[in-house]
Amino acid sequence: MEFPSKLIEDAVTEVSKLPGIGKKTALRLVLHLLKRDEDQTQTLAQALVAARTKVQYCRKCHNLSDDTLCSICANPRRDGSTICVVEDTRDVLAIENTAQYKGLYHVLGGIISPVEGVGPSDLHIDSLLQRLTQQNEGDEPVKEIILALSPTMEGDTTAFYLQKKLRPFSLRVSTIARGIPIGGDLEYADEITLGRSIVSRIAYE
């Protein structure tokens, strides 16, 4: 594509570096900004730079935060006896949206993936183990770790590694249930999910 303007070309090149955005979409976005007020572009640019430069990571759970301690870790009404281990901040948001979980989190910051060269040392696993060993007085003792990782090869590998590391501690380690999604159609479920949902069947009480 030959652009009529170097300025547009530069903007399109930068926008198309974002994941899932190709040249055509990038051009559409840039041309949209040209049609809007100059303020909107300024605000967008400032918000992106502010988010990139000023955001912090919670020193306890590594979740994104505006302070050294995130709003979840700092909340005294959260149940400190349960830690839910997730891959990244998006998973925290997804679980928070369900309003079904009142414990704390631990954000690994990734997932073990030999293909992409991500090993256990690249993740916040040591700090998870530290949270279990170095408990301050007054802290609620951790009783359960929930592994909420994606049911993929990498997720299962990470879960397996964590289970091994967590074995020395006397606590319950669980994983989120895998099965047919609510509203899902049995006929269209893949055989592995359907198979697992039969193996992990739940008895009526």
For its own copies, the binding residues (CB under 8 A) are 1-8, 10-11, 13-15, 17-21, 25, 27-34, 38, 40-55, 58, 63-66, 70-72, 88-90, 92-93, 96-97
Q: Considering the complex, what minimum distance in angstroms separates the CB of residue 94 from its own copies? A: 9
Angle at 13 between CA 115 and CA 88, to 5 degrees: 40
**Residues in a beta bridge with 106:** 85
Give yes or no for a contact between 200 and 179, defined as CB atoms under 8 angstroms apart.
yes
Cβ atoms of residues 91 and 100 within 8 Å: no
Nearer Cβ to its own copies (13/135): 13
Nearer to its own copies by Cβ, of 71 and 163: the residue is: 71
Shortest distance, CB of residue 70 to its own copies, whole angstroms? 5
Using the minimum distance from each CB to its own copies, give the nearer residue, 116 or 167: 116
Closest approach, Cβ 147 to its own copies, in A, equals 20
Return the structure tokens found at 141. 């003792």
> What element of type H or E holds 92?
helix 89-98
Q: Which CB, 7 or 192, lies closer to its own copies?
A: 7
Range 121-125, long-range pairs (CB < 8 A, 24+ positions): 123/158, 124/62, 125/161, 125/162, 125/165
Nearer to its own copies, 65 or 82 (CB): 65
Query: Quick one: which of 47, 30, 41, 123 has its CA closest to 85?
Result: 123
Minimum Å distance from CB 59 to its own copies?
14
Residue 62 CB, nearest distance to its own copies (Å)? Answer: 11
